[in-house]
Structure 1
């Protein structure tokens, strides 16, 4: 196996300072190149890269490996022409020396952009980046700042908010107090960080694209989603009315339980309507139904029952709601007297009914398994399409 130890020079510093054309191949040729580059510019870090290339090649030869030492440079016209020049030279080396792997030596972030070109032609076993020891911290900081300033997304994400903060803060401080200005600035920055941290922009973009595709394709789920959103708003409104009607709203747990108890039925109804729209879309398109769509209505009702059961339990314990009164029932000659269902028994009934619905959903879905597909199968089909 023949390995290529190659020193990458994207900006053609070698050709500009020595007048030589690349590729330069061979131990003696590269060692002579070290002297030429060093005499032309003793402060150039390329001298260290060339010496590191020779050191790596010598270490591999000591391990009885066949090594080809080479220096590859780009062109100065443009980055595209530089990369294409490097690609041509690598193709020439591969065809001439029957290479199988490569060890890459470089000294800058610009040279690192050539690594994919090498990887497309040879297996890269190692990447050796040379940083001059006397200026390691300064050079690393310089390359980091250069890479940061070259990334448009990072500039817009960090520099723009910082610049706006520096501009707005003096105005707010002159119009209001210093503390109020600082509080307003930190609030805006906090909202922005949460917005970027949760990728709200990407989520909104994906939702807009999906909604537009759904509208253009005439899907029933568009209407059901709007209805579901309206039912959710009704649930929030009803929950808020329930909280405002509490006589003693001290603390936070009791208002939360009241809000959940009043809002859950509407939210569950919204989820049912949305899932019904998805089922109708799948049925209309005559495509195999996904099992998750069939299970979703049962899961929604079961979860809604459990959540409402627990919230009702806490509310009844605090005396906000009364126990359930079961009226007398006559079955033939047998009469069951009326009785009250306390909080613990009510919770047990809700949980048992939820479990029963879950089991019914699983059984029903398994019986309707013909013509349905699992989520994993759906993902595989989507990837293959």
Structure 2
């Protein structure tokens, strides 16, 4: 007797995410338990009706004397290539266990065009049944279904985001030329066109923000900012100071380089890097100092490894400056090569001494 597999597929893994069901699920009793789990978590999910339809189909086939069994397989919350790979993996596991001669595929209609090729390439599909939830034939029922669908994050990204992006991009083609004309000519009559173009621009932007949960992401960012960054006020202050000094140093060194004549742009670039080396090293040292102060405030202790990092930064800065001085000597004669050589040697000595004491510190820490 041929064995028939009634297969229910949940491509976006609502059973795993909402119902906490481990898939694949094989057997009528196990599938009823899985349906109950999702029904308790979200009784209005369309995948729930598809599984109940699969259970009903399997029981009908068994009553007709057919050797039938049922299985539920799921994909992944991130619908796409990852979810399809998960479906393939679970499908092959079910096929190895059940070894069916044919498959009856049950779906809710939303993902059948994606699921059918995956199933049919690995098993003989006799029929495909689509399950649609009955709704009252009125506008309120349709609006309810639409609202319910758009409340799910994955469906918002799939349906609303492309529409919002299309409206947003199309509005830019009208808004940008009007803005350019207004800013160039100062023609106040263009304000009417700009106001008109702003409507689809705002609509498209609002749809994109809604599709990608901007409000939720903003709340997470503000929570992270309050909990992580503001709590480390000392470290934040030192980091801001370091970034400020670095930006100012870049600007000052640029104008200093600009006021100096160089034979080529490459020499000018090397000279600029040479001027910015030590301000950069100082900024990194300030950041490390902020870390040291923060850890001292929190634990009343200072890690010597952070102090060793300061010496490592100094050795790197000295060696880099020496290498640039040597390069400038060979490219544009006039520089003293001994300065570059001495800087490189000094950097190596500082690095070796720092590494030695750092190694001793680690040995003592392990021994202690």
TM-score in terms of structure 2 length: 0.48
Structure with the higher fraction of residues in strand conformation: 1
TM-score in terms of structure 1 length: 0.46
Task: Look at both structures and tell me which one has the larger radius of gyration over its CA atoms.
Answer: 1
Structure with the higher fraction of residues in helix conformation: 2
